[in-house]
Amino acid sequence: MQKKRRLRAISAGLLSTAVLAFSANAQKTPYDPNPPFGLNLLKPTEVKVGGFFSRKTIKAYQPKNPYNIFINYELGMHCVGFDISYCCVIPPYNSIQAQVVKSGENGKLPRLLTPEDGVKLYYYVKDNSYSEGNKMKYWSVPKDTNGDGDLSDPGDNIANYVWTHLFIYQDLEGTVPKNWKKSQRLHVGKEINVPIDAGPSGKPMAGGYMDYSGDNGGNIVFTEPMKAVQPLVPHVPLKLTASNIWDALGLPLTAFNDSRRKGTIRSITGKDFQPYQYSMVQLHDKNGKPITVNGKIVEFFGTNPVDIPNCAICHSGDGKAA
């Protein structure tokens, strides 16, 4: 018995010594703050700089990528109740916004690409191609959208109802007819139904081509002001997309991936949530053919944050952002 105890003590001592030795070696390993790449991975080049009388040639490097796509969602974390039948904090609305840059090669300046350059951007959300059903209850929640006293019309659901305060006259460029009338207004959700699994401008969750806003911005809709000022200001334009942005507006995004979502909406647990979704954007030519570099499609990703109203997880005294 004593022999066994002695062997156990020796084993424990050896284990402790090994752990201490490992810890000491780990502490001795210096942390390298430098990135795991260097300029030696870039192709060197020469660039002429300066004015007419001071022109000279300097050594430089070609950019890593001939194209770069910057992807953004301008509203930050979007908190939404996914079962709208009992709780609607705010409607689902996650945009994918992007800008594509042609890198400056051989001394040329980089520049933003637009449809005039013969390109367009294709978007999709990785492993998240639908919402209505076992991820969200939105279009299936009845609501008298047009106020006619029944729920039998095609657009009588909450997904249409929440947008009825917005309207256009002709297009999403803010065009107002010369002699306009209220009867010409096309309300989102009423005269213009929102398709299932799509945003208020019709962009589908399953993916598609983004709209380019141009110098004056885009996705311009109108709303009515208070009645007291309507004689002076009959309609107020709302510019939903800033200038020179590619946009897939207001997707009804959820925090649930296709591959993980099994069962009904009532079977969702905390393990199903992925609050940071992958927004994927590809560069295509004007005919819809993907543009490739070294055999790979030019494709970049960004994050699109969406979650239930769970502010305390990050913003309470003990939260991640505290």
Give pLDDT tens digits for 264-303. 999 998 889 999 999 999 999 999 999 999 999 999 999 9
Whether residue 317 is predicted with pLDDT greater than 90 in this model: the reply is: no
Nearest to 188 by CA among 205, 172, 209: 172
Predicted local distance difference test score (pLDDT) of residue 48: 83
**CA dist., res. 301 & res. 120, Å (int):** 16
pLDDT tens-place string over residues 100-128: 999 998 878 899 999 999 999 999 999 99
Supply 6's token pair: 């002695």
pLDDT tens-place string over residues 180-238: 999 999 999 999 999 999 999 999 999 999 999 999 999 999 999 999 999 999 999 99
With residues binned 3-state (H G I as helix, E B as strand, rest as coil), the percentages for the chain, rounded to 5, are: 15, 30, 55
pLDDT tens-place string over residues 25-51: 555 678 888 877 788 888 898 888 888
First to last CA, the chain: 55
C-alpha triplet 105, 286, 203: angle, nearest 5°: 110
The residue count of the chain comes to: 322
Q: State the SS3 of 163-214.
A: CCCCEECCCCECCCCCCCCHHHCEEECCCECCCCCECCCCCECCCEECEECC
* More confident position, 152 or 309: 152
Predicted local distance difference test score (pLDDT) of residue 8: 54
* More confident position, 316 or 51: 51
**CA dist., res. 83 & res. 87, Å (int):** 7
Among residues of the chain, what percentage have pLDDT more than 70? 88
Nearest to 122 by CA among 43, 38, 250, 209: 209
Half-sphere exposure of 203 (CA within 13 A, CB side): 25
* Mean pLDDT (whole number) for 127-155: 95
Cα separations in angstroms, 103 against 97, 106, 116, 145: 19, 10, 17, 48
Whether residue 17 is predicted with pLDDT greater than 90 in this model: the reply is: no
User: Which residue ranges make up each domain of the chain?
Assistant: 1-31, 67-315
